[in-house]
Structures are given as structure tokens and as C-alpha cells.
């Protein structure tokens, strides 16, 4: 069971602001989903290795060749918040 | 003599080295040559983290990591892979850093340094590959900043992070480790340490076996030494006053020379590491033998060879091999037939001393010339040619110029506005040693022309001899050796 | 005659007789009259592009053929909203690999299709741009998350479309809208330029009115791409060559777990009829068991949400997309993410964050990956005995708009038959195989890795001998 404090903590980790009212809602809905996930406890997996990738590829590399970058105006085209060629945000913390 | 380490100091280091000699970034084709560029001109969908863009690993990053691993006498992993380290920061365009977690490419290495009490081994826990975040410029100070400007040119630069065991027992040992470590990496030719941000360090330190404190993001070796000196003093005083050392991350204020506790975050970070699904695992341990073959001679081996091959003192061999470019320069001079011992003295003692005095560091060697830059402002300084060093040592050993004149030549080459050969400098400044008969003539003239002074001297006034020596120097325009002139005068007057 | 509902071959013939411009105009006209909210963006350049194709005399395999693109696949110059307020005004400065291939082939991009926000959903109701309606019944959902792509194909607003499938997002709407959809083998189609929801699970794939057009599209978009490290460097497959009306000797496995409780009788009957039809065409079938199927759903959602929590971290309003004001950067991004993401996206990010967090990583994430191994082994075992597996794509036909929106878990449960395929990375198709209460039913055909040719041949044969694929939704006809 996750608590209201857990919801707060997860919200902070995920940087999603959650209002007081939402906390209760999330608590309920998250718990019902996590409760469902709990059924995996029934599966014996002691000797099972995890599958991270379904394809058996390794050593996928590119060669060290420089290619053209995007022009600055295209890089900054999707934001209004820019100054002197840089992205601009308020102070951090 | 055994170093007692009275305060039980234990220092560990984490060093980020940027592989800035590669042509392209870690996961995309953007050029690594961004240091003098306008902001956000060396970026693409991949290193900007635009939705949908995917990383593909630069093969040379892996090769460089293996090289570093071998040079640190570490083990190269059979299988290795990347993880995501999830956290939010404006310099991190994807909200995670691509790094290595439980399977780093290098583990269990070591570096031997000149410790407080002779040779001292520093363990290397691991070295792994990761990508560099972008660069933040705070408008105003960090605390009172009005805003932050973000430049992602650095984003996606390949880094190797090396983590040492807490084996260093003093700030001096930490400094020595860093000097040696950087030297090794320069030998490997995987990075240019003179570029901004090429090497960034975190230091952790504890006293009396207590709690570790981490000092983050220090940009110079000197800075690490200073930060540690301050931090050790701070910790000792906290304990002396009956306080407790809390586990924390501190920031080093280079200007003030103090460490400052960073505001504690409201909650602890949780990086939620998991394997990067967009990158496949690597099985590269079979590259090791081939890379080993291409590994250059490393500092310790070169130092031993210099002693053996050139018959020079260990002190000189150590100084000459402290930088690959200097070692190559020295060998370049020796190859031209210069006496290796003389070359060692003039390069290790004189040239290096003059460079240090001027805060110059060697930044390049192209086979005929070493280039230097100013360590403080990174301005380009005068270069020194192999041919000039060869000529200079020859002029000295042939007795054509005095040792003082030779030093003068080196200084003039380093400080002069125009590029000149030693011969040009000597001629212009008239630094050739005076011929013996010229001195004899000057001594005779000085005696006959200054009877009063001669009488005074013979009457016991030693000072008058100085006057006569001065006269000889004047007549020879300073080319006479003052000591020789004095001896000749005494011999002439007192028989 | 309008180009609406024509096959690609027919469209090419029509272009030869008239022009690409006329064909594109026909589709733009159909889009104008649309009742289903299938497109988020209709391209201003489509008509222009078709004229260019005409004047150039483009010889590509899709010269002048219009196509619709799911709004999570980057097309340079068109917004790539992913059905989210977060990316409403984000215009990518680059093309996805599949888009480059389509442009090379001469295709004309009609626009970007509506979808569940960030591809998280099975109903296309979670789009910031409003729900897509099912052309067969405008009160019902089209399925999701590629609901827009499936619906516009079914409604004759595009001859075919690209979607993406993380846990059924192509097959589910194909089934609900009565069109054909293929989720290719993981690694067969480059993901470069497709906005990631869950990278280890998803593939881009085609939706069309018939099997042949699926193969035509696969021939254009599939193949190795060096920009996607998970793209498999297999030899190029000739998908159209697989289109043979012959399944004699084909061995079909029927996994009994896919006919579990909650399956609608109409769906069950249509699927069994299809299997028996295949038998009549010379195939044989046997029941197979895939015992870990019941755990696939939990495993899938844990993995997908975990990966999503990290993939969606980049949406912070700093460089592009929606941005809410904040005094500090951390408060700015927390507010931006609270306002920019919809409820379902936030739920999945939060659960994924939890599943990866200290103390829970092993219980949820690692456990899910281990169960994934068992699910994958089920497929390997079953597919070692048979050529293909057949099952219902969805246990039920399209449900009503709003019916499941308040109960996320109920919505997740409807993906029970599609998610195991993504866990295993195998290819799977949904083809129309009948109707129940006037709503289409999809037959799911699942194959071995990179054996899309056998899937296509099976689907093609079934299609050649049935007429479900040629029925049109009456409300939009």
C-alpha cells in the first residue's frame, strides 16, 4: 500500500506537482494498479534471468565521424525563452 | 620513514575526463570542437534530447575507455552496458544521464604515486563511460541568480569517470595522484587537458575514520589540494569543538578557498537506475589484446628507460617524463646528437624552471617545437624549438657562452617579441665569452691605469679589488667571466 | 470516381489516368467532411506536394499516394503533438527514419493522426485534442492508441497510415475499426523519430484496408537503420513477395489462454469461424498452452510505465513544448508537467517512477523483466511446434466513449491479448474476421520473429477468401 506521503515523494521524484485533493485520488488509483501488479509474486522466478532486450544484438556502434549539427535558429525555434543563443530558465532551486 | 597520517585522513577522488580528442560526440555526429563556438551550434536532435531521437555509441569511446583501463592496470569487463541515471537538471536535456552502473567497463586498477613516504599505491575502483551534460551560465551568482542560460554544445560529450579508493592520506597525495593520472591520460592521447572543462573532479574526505564529505566539481589540481586542505581543517575543528561531521556534499569556492555546504535538498535523490533500452550491451573484452599492443610507453616505463638509456639522474628522468610532450621534446634534442645529460639539465632544470616561473604549461609538441600556454588565462606563449635547444647546449658545452649567458638566451626566447635563434640572441646581446688574451689585456690596462686603487688593495683594502674587477668587465663589455678576472688580477698583483 | 477506400494499386492506376493532385484532393475533401476527429493536423503542404510529384514524374513505389501519420512520428515542419498539450506546438526539425523512406518513395503526407496521449491508452480518449470516434459507431471508441490512424483508414480519409504499437496500439484500433494492422518484429522497423513511450516494447507499423497495402508499406519502411541501435541488420525482406493465396499445410496454434473469461461470445465465435475457415483452406490447427499469459499484463504495464517515467522526463518546458511559469526552474517544471500532461500519462509516470525507485526496483521492475522471460519462452515453445498462432485481437468489440475512462485498470485489462506479443517482440497482425452487433472483430495472427512473410501470406489468403475487409462503415460512407 502506498501512502499519501509516498504519493508526495513520487510526485517530487517525477517533478509533477500534485494538489492535496489529487493526492487522495492518486493514492486510490495507484494502489489499485499496484495491487494488481502484486499478482506477479505468485510466479516463481528464482532461476529466471531478466529480459532487457528481446533481440540478441550486441556491439552496435557508429564510427567516429563528425556530421553537421543543426543551425542555432532551428535549435531554438521551439521556445520563446532564449537569450544570446542560449535557452533561458529561471534560477534553479 | 613511515608517514603516520596523524589525522587519519582518507581521500578518494572521482575524476571526469572529457574525451575531447575524438571527432564526434558520444552518441551523435556533432563535432567535439565546440570550445570557441556560439552557444547551441554543435547540437542535433540526439544531444538536445528531442523526442524520437536515439543514441548510437561512438566506437572510439569504448576503445579509449579500454586504453585507460589498461593504463590503470584494471580489468576490462567481459560484458558491459549502459544505464540511465534519472534526475532533473536544466543541463540534462533528457532528464537522465547515460552512464554505467553495475557493470562498468573498467574495474580494479591502480596507480602508484610519490606518496608522503615514498611510493604509494592508490586503488582504482572503477572507470566508466558516460555523457556530459550541457553548460549552465548563471546570470548573477548561483544563489541570487536572475536566471540561467543553457548551452547544449557540451551535451553528449564523451566522458570517462574514474573512481579511486580512499587511499590518499593528504591533499598533497591527492594532488600528486591527479598530476600522475592526467599525465597517464595524456600519454594515451585520449584527451587534451588544456581545454576548458576537460577534467573535473569531486573529492571525498574523512578524518579519524569518520563520516565522508564530498566536495564537488573542482576544476583544477591545485583547486583540489586547496579544497582538501580547507575541508580537513574544517572537519578537525568541528570535531575539536565537539560537533559532528554530517554526510553532505559541499561546493568549493575557488576564489575564497573555502568549501561551502550546498543547500540540502528537501528530499534525497533517487536515481532509479535501469538499463538503457535504446543501447545494446557490449562484449568488447576481446578487443583488449589488440589495444594493448597499441598502448604507448607509459610514464613509469619511460622514466626507467631514460635513466637506463641516457644515463641521467632519476630526478631528471621523472621531470622529463612528467609530460609526454616534454619527454618527446627531450628525446628530439638527444636524437640530434646532444649530450643527453647536458640536455636533461638544461631542459629539466632550466627550461622547466623558467616555464614554471612564468606559469606556462606545455600544450603541444609537433616533433620540432613545443608550444606553451599560460595556465591562468590560457593565452598562447612563445614556443621553443628542438633545434634551438640543440644549438644552445652545443654553444655552452663548447665553451662559447657562459652558463649565465645560456640562461639569458632561454629567457629571451621565452619573453622576446620576435622569434629568434640562440645565435641571434647571443650576437645581438654580445653574449659570447671573451677571448682569454682580451681579458689579459684588460687586466694589464686596469692595473696601469688605476695606480691608486692598486696601492689601496696592496695596502689591505679588499674593496679596491672589486673596483678593478669592474674595470676589467667594463673593458670587455661584460663578456669576461668575473671570477676569472678577479683571479687574474690577484695573480698579477700578489704574484 | 473518388479515390476514397481505393487500394494503393488502384490509387496508382488512378494517378496514372488523372493525377496525384486529384487523388490528394479527394482525400482532403473526405477529411473536410470528417465526423471522427481522426486528424490533429492536416498538412497545408499535401496538395503542393502532390503537384510536385506530378510535375517531377516521381517514379517511387508510392509516388503520389497519400498517407496519414500517427502524431508521435516526427515529420519535419508538422507539429508532433503526441496527443498532448505538452507538445501541442512542438515542431520537430527532423524527419523520422520511416518518414524519410516514405518521402523517398513519393508518398504524400496528408497529416498527423489523433492518438491517446503519448500512446498511453486503448481508446484514444486520452488525447488532449478530444476523442476519436469509431466510424462504425460514432458513440464508440476506435481503440487505441493509434485510434486516429485506424479510424481515418476505416473512414476512407487515408488509404493507409502509420501507427505505433507498444502493447497493442496498432492491433487494437485495427480490430475495433475493421482494418488490417501489423506490429512488426521488434527491430524490423527503425524507431528513429518516433516519440518513445516504452522503447523496449514498441514498433512503428502500418494500418491499411487490405493485407496487400500492409506489405506495400512494409517494403518501404522496414529495414536496417544505423541511427537506431535496436534496428536489426537482417537481410531486406520482400514483403509483397509473400502475398500468396495458399496456406495449405500451415500449422496454426490456438492458445487457449487467449480465450479467457470476459471474452465476448460474438468475438469468440468470429475468431473460431476464422480458424475453421483456415482449416478449410488447407491449414491445420491445434490447441497450444501459454501458461504465463495471465501474468503478461502486469509485467507489461510495469515495464512500460517504468520506461515511460524516464522517457517522458525530457518534457520539462525548458527547450520546447508547453511551459508553465515558475519562480525557480524546479517549480517551473513541476507545474509544467502537472499542467502539460493528462491524467493517464501522469498516473503512468508516477507508477513507473515508483516501480523503479529504491526499495521497489526488484519487487516490480526486475520481477516484471523476469516474468517477461517466461512469457517470451511461452512463445518460443509454442512457435516451435506451429507456424502461426491465432487468437482474438481484443476480447471485446469497441466499447462506448466514456465507458472505461474512470477505471484505468479495466482499460488495462482489455489489452490482455495484445501485450504478451510486445513482451516477446514477435510480429503480429490484426485482420478483420467478422462482426458482432454490427461492430468489427479482429483476428490476431502471431508469428515467429522476422517471419512477417508467413503472417502476410496467412492474412492474405484469409482475406482473399472472405469479404470482411471490403465492408465499409455505413455512417461515414
* Residue C171's CATH number: 3.90.1300.10
Q: What is the three-state SS of chain B?
A: CCCCCCCCCEEEEEEEEECCCCCECCCCCCECCCCCCCCCCCCCCCCCCCCCCCCCEEHHHHHHHHHHHHHCCCEECCCECCEEEECCCCCCCCCEEEECCCCCCEEEEEEEEEECCEEEEEEEEEEEEEECCCEEEEECCCCCCCEEEEEHHHCCCEEEEEEECCCECCHHHHHHHHHHHHHHHHHHCCCCCCCCCCEEEEEEEECCCCCCEEEEEECCHHHHHHHHHHHHHHHHHHHHCCCCCCCCEEEEECCCCEEEECCCCCCCCCCCCEECCCCCCECCHHHHHHHHHHCCCCHHHHHHHHHHHHCCCHHHHHHHCCCHHHHHHHHHHHHCCCCHHHHHHHHHHHHHHHHHHCCEEEEEECCCEEEEEECCCCCEEEEEEHHHHHHHHHHHHCCCECHHHHHHHHHHHHHCCCCCCHHHHHHHHCCECCCHHHHHHHHHHHHHHCHHHHHHHHCCCCHHHHHHHHHHHHHCCCCCCHHHHHHHHHHHHHC
> What confidence score (pLDDT) does residue B477 get?
76
- Among the listed residues C34, C74, C169, C175, the single catalytic one is C169
Indicate the range of B20-24, B65-69, C230-234 predicted with least confidence.
C230-234
Q: Is residue B216 part of a domain?
A: yes
- Chains with 3 or more CB pairs under 8 A to chain A: B, C
ipTM entry:
0.98
Nearest to C228 among B54, B84, B270 (CB): B54
Three-state secondary structure call for residue A88: strand
Is position C19 annotated as part of the catalytic site? no
* B425/B471 same-domain check: no
Average pLDDT of chain C is: 96
| B493 vs C258: which has the higher pLDDT | C258
Chain C residues closer than 8 Å to A77 by CB = 91, 93
Axis-axis angle for helices C293-311, C367-385 (nearest 10): 130
For chain A, positions 17-56, list CB contacts with chain C under 8 A.
17-18, 26, 29-30, 32-34, 36-37, 39-43, 45, 48-55
* B419/B442 same-domain check: no
| Predicted confidence (pLDDT) at residue B144 exceeds the cutoff of 80 | no
> What confidence score (pLDDT) does residue C235 get?
81
| B464 vs C446: which has the higher pLDDT | C446
* B314/B272 same-domain check: no
Is B48 within 8 Å of B93 (Cβ atoms)? Answer: yes
Q: Which of B240, B274, B290 is the last residue of a domain?
A: B290
Q: Is residue C126 part of a domain?
A: yes
> What confidence score (pLDDT) does residue C439 get?
97
Q: Are the Cβ atoms of C199 and B279 closer than 8 angstroms?
A: no
| Predicted confidence (pLDDT) at residue B177 exceeds the cutoff of 80 | yes
Q: Is residue B3 part of a domain?
A: no
* B123/B262 same-domain check: yes
CATH number at residue B456: 1.10.10.410
Is C349 within 8 Å of A14 (Cβ atoms)? Answer: yes
For chain C, positions 29-88, list CB contacts with chain A under 8 A.
none
CA distance linking residue B309 with residue B307, whole number of Å: 6
Nearest to B40 among A9, A13, A72 (CB): A72
Q: Are the Cβ atoms of C200 and A53 closer than 8 angstroms?
A: yes
- Among the listed residues C34, C123, C127, C145, the single catalytic one is C145
Could you give the percent of chain B with pLDDT greater than 70?
Answer: 97
Mean pLDDT across the stretch C238-256?
98
> What confidence score (pLDDT) does residue B436 get?
67
Question: Which residue numbers of A have CB closer than 8 Å to B's CBs?
Answer: 9, 12-13, 15, 52-53, 55, 57-72, 75-76, 83-93
Q: Are the Cβ atoms of C374 and A48 closer than 8 angstroms?
A: yes
Q: Model confidence over C134-190: pLDDT tens digits? A: 999 999 999 999 999 999 999 999 999 999 999 999 999 999 999 999 999 999 999
Chain A residues closer than 8 Å to B281 by CB = 53, 58
Q: Which of B257, B290, B323 is the last residue of a domain?
A: B290
Domain ranges in chain A? 4-44+52-87
Q: Which of B414, B429, B444 is the last residue of a domain?
A: B429
Nearest to B44 among A58, A69, A93 (CB): A69
| Predicted confidence (pLDDT) at residue B431 exceeds the cutoff of 80 | no
* B425/B452 same-domain check: no
CA distance linking residue B56 with residue B25, whole number of Å: 10
Q: Which residues of A56-77 are buried (b: 16+ CB within 10 A; e: fewer)?
A: eeeebbbebebeebbebebbbe
Q: Give B241 to chain A, closest Cα distance, Å.
A: 32
For chain B, positions 236-295, list CB contacts with chain A under 8 A.
263, 265-267, 270, 272, 275, 277, 279-284
* B176/B286 same-domain check: yes
Q: Is residue B4 part of a domain?
A: no
- Among the listed residues C70, C112, C404, C448, the single catalytic one is C70
- Chains with 3 or more CB pairs under 8 A to chain C: A, B
> What confidence score (pLDDT) does residue C474 get?
83
* Domain span holding position B402: 297-429
Chain A residues closer than 8 Å to B103 by CB = none
Nearest to A58 among B32, B137, B282 (CB): B282
Could you give the percent of chain A with pLDDT greater than 70?
Answer: 100
Sign of CA dihedral B134, B135, B137, B143: positive
pLDDT grade for B142, boundaries at 50, 70 and 90: low
Q: Is residue B364 part of a domain?
A: yes
Is position C145 annotated as part of the catalytic site? yes
* B160/B214 same-domain check: yes
Q: Is residue C293 part of a domain?
A: no
Query: Any chain A CB within 8 A of the CB of B57?
Result: yes
Is position C70 annotated as part of the catalytic site? yes
| Predicted confidence (pLDDT) at residue C1 exceeds the cutoff of 80 | no
* B378/B259 same-domain check: no
Query: Any chain A CB within 8 A of the CB of C353?
Result: yes
| Predicted confidence (pLDDT) at residue B158 exceeds the cutoff of 70 | yes
Q: Is residue C29 part of a domain?
A: yes
| Predicted confidence (pLDDT) at residue B265 exceeds the cutoff of 60 | no
> What confidence score (pLDDT) does residue C85 get?
98
Number of domains in chain C: 1
* B315/B441 same-domain check: no
Pick the closest to residue C473 from C24, C5, C54, C3 (CA basis): C5
pLDDT grade for B434, boundaries at 50, 70 and 90: low
| C411 vs B212: which has the higher pLDDT | B212
Chain A residues closer than 8 Å to C334 by CB = 11-12, 15-17
pLDDT grade for B487, boundaries at 50, 70 and 90: confident
Chain C residues closer than 8 Å to A18 by CB = 338
Three-state secondary structure call for residue C249: coil
Q: Model confidence over B439-451: pLDDT tens digits? A: 888 888 888 898 8
Q: Give B202 to chain C, closest Cα distance, Å.
A: 24
> What confidence score (pLDDT) does residue A86 get?
98
Number of domains in chain B: 3
Average pLDDT of chain B is: 92
* Domain span holding position C47: 8-226+233-250+430-442+452-476
Q: Are the Cβ atoms of C199 and B93 closer than 8 angstroms?
A: no
Q: Are the Cβ atoms of C226 and B49 closer than 8 angstroms?
A: no
Q: Give B291 to chain A, closest Cα distance, Å.
A: 16
The residue to which cell 469468440 is assigned: C268
Q: Is residue C182 part of a domain?
A: yes
Nearest to B274 among C329, C356, C358 (CB): C356
- Chains with 3 or more CB pairs under 8 A to chain B: A, C
Q: Is residue C265 part of a domain?
A: no
Amino acid at each position: 500500500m502506498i501512502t499519501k506521503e509516498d504519493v508526495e515523494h513520487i510526485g517530487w521524484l517525477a517533478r509533477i506537482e500534485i494538489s492535496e485533493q489529487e493526492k487522495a485520488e492518486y493514492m486510490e488509483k495507484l494502489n489499485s494498479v499496484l495491487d494488481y501488479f502484486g499478482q506477479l509474486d505468485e510466479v516463481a522466478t528464482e532461476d529466471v534471468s531478466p529480459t532487457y532486450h528481446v533481440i540478441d544484438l550486441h556491439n552496435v556502434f557508429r564510427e567516429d565521424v563528425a556530421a553537421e549539427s543543426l543551425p542555432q535558429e532551428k535549435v531554438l525555434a521551439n521556445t520563446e525563452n532564449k537569450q544570446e543563443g542560449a535557452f533561458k530558465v529561471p534560477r534553479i532551486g | 620513514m613511515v608517514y603516520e597520517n596523524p589525522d587519519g585522513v582518507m581521500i578518494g577522488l572521482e575524476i571526469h575526463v572529457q574525451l575531447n580528442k575524438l571527432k564526434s560526440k558520444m552518441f551523435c555526429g556533432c563535432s567535439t570542437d565546440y570550445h570557441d563556438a556560439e552557444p547551441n551550434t554543435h547540437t542535433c536532435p540526439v544531444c538536445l534530447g528531442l523526442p524520437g531521437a536515439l543514441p548510437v555509441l561512438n566506437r572510439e569511446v569504448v576503445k579509449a575507455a579500454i586504453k585507460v583501463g589498461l593504463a590503470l592496470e584494471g580489468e576490462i569487463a567481459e560484458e558491459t552496458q549502459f544505464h540511465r541515471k534519472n534526475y532533473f537538471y536544466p543541463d540534462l536535456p533528457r532528464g537522465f544521464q547515460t552512464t554505467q552502473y553495475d557493470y562498468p567497463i573498467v574495474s580494479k586498477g591502480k596507480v602508484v604515486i610519490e606518496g608522503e613516504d615514498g611510493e604509494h599505491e592508490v586503488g582504482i575502483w572503477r572507470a566508466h563511460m558516460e555523457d556530459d551534460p550541457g553548460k549552465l551560465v548563471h546570470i548573477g551568482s548561483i544563489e541570487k541568480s536572475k536566471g540561467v542560460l543553457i548551452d547544449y554544445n557540451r551535451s553528449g560529450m564523451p566522458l570517462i569517470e574514474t573512481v579511486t579508493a580512499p587511499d590518499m592520506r593528504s591533499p598533497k597525495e591527492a594532488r600528486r595522484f591527479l598530476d600522475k593520472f592526467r599525465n597517464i591520460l595524456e600519454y594515451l592521447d585520449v584527451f587534451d587537458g588544456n581545454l576548458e572543462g576537460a577534467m573535473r573532479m569531486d573529492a571525498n574526505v574523512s578524518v579519524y575514520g569518520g563520516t565522508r564529505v564530498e566536495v564537488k566539481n573542482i576544476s583544477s589540481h591545485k583547486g583540489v589540494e586547496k579544497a582538501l586542505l580547507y575541508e580537513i581543517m574544517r572537519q578537525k575543528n568541528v570535531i575539536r569543538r565537539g560537533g559532528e561531521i554530517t554526510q553532505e556534499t559541499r561546493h568549493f569556492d575557488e576564489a575564497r578557498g573555502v568549501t561551502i555546504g550546498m543547500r540540502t535538498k528537501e528530499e534525497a535523490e533517487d536515481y532509479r537506475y535501469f538499463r538503457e533500452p535504446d543501447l545494446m550491451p557490449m562484449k568488447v573484452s576481446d578487443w583488449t589484446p589488440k589495444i594493448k599492443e597499441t598502448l604507448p610507453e607509459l610514464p613509469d616505463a619511460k622514466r626507467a628507460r631514460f635513466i637506463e638509456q641516457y644515463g641521467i639522474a632519476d630526478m631528471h628522468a621523472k621531470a622529463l617524463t612528467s609530460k609526454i610532450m616534454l619527454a618527446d621534446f627531450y628525446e628530439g634534442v638527444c636524437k640530434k646528437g646532444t649530450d643527453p645529460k647536458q640536455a636533461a639539465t638544461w631542459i629539466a632544470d632550466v627550461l622547466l624552471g623558467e616555464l614554471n616561473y612564468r606559469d606556462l604549461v606545455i600544450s603541444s609538441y609537433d616533433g620540432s617545437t613545443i608550444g606553451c600556454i599560460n595556465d591562468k588565462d590560457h593565452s598562447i606563449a612563445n614556443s621553443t624549438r628542438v633545434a634551438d635547444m640543440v644549438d644552445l647546449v652545443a654553444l655552452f658545452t663548447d665553451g662559447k657562452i657562459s652558463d649565465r649567458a645560456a640562461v639569458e638566451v632561454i629567457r629571451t626566447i621565452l619573453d622576446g617579441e620576435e622569434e629568434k635563434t640562440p645565435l641571434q640572441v647571443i650576437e645581438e646581446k654580445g653574449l659570447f665569452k671573451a677571448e682569454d688574451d682580451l681579458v689579459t689585456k684588460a687586466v694589464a690596462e686596469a692595473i696601469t691605469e688605476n695606480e691608486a686603487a692598486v696601492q689601496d688593495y696592496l695596502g689591505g683594502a679588499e674593496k679596491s679589488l672589486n673596483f678593478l674587477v669592474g674595470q676589467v668587465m667594463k673593458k670587455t663589455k661584460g663578456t669576461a667571466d668575473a671570477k676569472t678576472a678577479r683571479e687574474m688580477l690577484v695573480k698579477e698583483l700578489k704574484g | 470516381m473518388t479515390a476514397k477506400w481505393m487500394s494503393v494499386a488502384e490509387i496508382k492506376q488512378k494517378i496514372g489516368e488523372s493525377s496525384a493532385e486529384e487523388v490528394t484532393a479527394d482525400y482532403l475533401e473526405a477529411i473536410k467532411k470528417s465526423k471522427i476527429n481522426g486528424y490533429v493536423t492536416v498538412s497545408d503542404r499535401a496538395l503542393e506536394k502532390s503537384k510536385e510529384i506530378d510535375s517531377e514524374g516521381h517514379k517511387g513505389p508510392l509516388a503520389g499516394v497519400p498517407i496519414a501519420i500517427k502524431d508521435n512520428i516526427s515529420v519535419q515542419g508538422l507539429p508532433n503533438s503526441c496527443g498532448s498539450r505538452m507538445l501541442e506546438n512542438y515542431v520537430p526539425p527532423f524527419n523520422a527514419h520511416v518518414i524519410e523512406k516514405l518521402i523517398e518513395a513519393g508518398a504524400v503526407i496528408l497529416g498527423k493522426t489523433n492518438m491517446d496521449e503519448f500512446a498511453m491508452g486503448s481508446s484514444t480518449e486520452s488525447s488532449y485534442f478530444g476523442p476519436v470516434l469509431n466510424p462504425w459507431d460514432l458513440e464508440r471508441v476506435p481503440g487505441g492508441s493509434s485510434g486516429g490512424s485506424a479510424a481515418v483508414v476505416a473512414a476512407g480519409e487515408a488509404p493507409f497510415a502509420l501507427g505505433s504499437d507498444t502493447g497493442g496500439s496498432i492491433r487494437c484500433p485495427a480490430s475495433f475499426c475493421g482494418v488490417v494492422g501489423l506490429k512488426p518484429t521488434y527491430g524490423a522497423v527503425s524507431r528513429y523519430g518516433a516519440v518513445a513511450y516504452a522503447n523496449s516494447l514498441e514498433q512503428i507499423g502500418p494500418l491499411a484496408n487490405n493485407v496487400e497495402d500492409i506489405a506495400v508499406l512494409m517494403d518501404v519502411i522496414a529495414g536496417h537503420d544505423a541511427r537506431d541501435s535496436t534496428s536489426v541488420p537482417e537481410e531486406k525482406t520482400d514483403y509483397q513477395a509473400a502475398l500468396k493465396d495458399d496456406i495449405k499445410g500451415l500449422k496454426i496454434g490456438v492458445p487457449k489462454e487467449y480465450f479467457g473469461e470476459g471474452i465476448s461470445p460474438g468475438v469468440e465465435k468470429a475468431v473460431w469461424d476464422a480458424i475453421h475457415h483456415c482449416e478449410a483452406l488447407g491449414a491445420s490447427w491445434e490447441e497450444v498452452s501459454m501458461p504465463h499469459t495471465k501474468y503478461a499484463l502486469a509485467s507489461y504495464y510495469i515495464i512500460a510505465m517504468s520506461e515511460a517515467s524516464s522517457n517522458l522526463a525530457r518534457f520539462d518546458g525548458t527547450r520546447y513544448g508547453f511551459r508553465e511559469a515558475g519562480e525557480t526552474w524546479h517549480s517551473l517544471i513541476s507545474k509544467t508537467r502537472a499542467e502539460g500532461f493528462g491524467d493517464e500519462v501522469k498516473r503512468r509516470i508516477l507508477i513507473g517512477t515508483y516501480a523503479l525507485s529504491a526499495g521497489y526496483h526488484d519487487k516490480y521492475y526486475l520481477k516484471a523483466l523476469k516474468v517477461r522471460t517466461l512469457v517470451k519462452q511461452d512463445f518460443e515453445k509454442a512457435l516451435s511446434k506451429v507456424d502461426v498462432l491465432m487468437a482474438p485481437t481484443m476480447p471485446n468489440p469497441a466499447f462506448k466513449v466514456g465507458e472505461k475512462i474512470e477505471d484505468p485498470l479495466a482499460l488495462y485489462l482489455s489489452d490482455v491479448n495484445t501485450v504478451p506479443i510486445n513482451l516477446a517482440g514477435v510480429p503480429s497482425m490484426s485482420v478483420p474476421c467478422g462482426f458482432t452487433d454490427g461492430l468489427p472483430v479482429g483476428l490476431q495472427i502471431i508469428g515467429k520473429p522476422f517471419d512477417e512473410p508467413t503472417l502476410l501470406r496467412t492474412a492474405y489468403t484469409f482475406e482473399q477468401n472472405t469479404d470482411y475487409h471490403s465492408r465499409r462503415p455505413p455512417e461515414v460512407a
